[in-house]
Amino acid sequence: MADIKNYAVFKERPLVMCKNNTMVYGNMNEKAYAEIIMLGPDVEGMLMVTIKACGSNEVLRPNDFKNGIYEALEYSCEQIDRYNKK
């Protein structure tokens, strides 16, 4: 766990804020990660979650829309766990 001590962590995985209202959630040593995009003021509180394969950026599960960061992170965690088991 020493590797991720400088990041926000949710359920033992790092959450990193990137440019253009985008967050990346997940450990890059696993099979999948989530890209979470905060949509504009027209749809306040809505987030778009895309599950991608680590290393290749292949989309494993296309855009799902969630209300709020907690719902988006819970969904992301479930999907990442699902793909890690494969």
Q: What is the pLDDT along the chain (86 residues), one digit of tens a residue?
A: 445 567 888 898 999 988 888 999 999 899 999 999 998 777 778 999 999 999 888 999 999 999 999 999 999 999 999 999 87
Reference 76, options 41, 21, 56, 68; nearest CA is 68
Taking the whole predicted model, whether its pTM rises above 0.95 is answered as no
Burial of 12: CB neighbours in 10 Å, binned 0-12, 13-18, 19+: exposed
Q: Is 84 helix (H, G, I), strand (E, B) or coil?
A: helix
CB 26 within 8 Å of CB 6: no
A 10 A CB-CB count for 47 gives 22
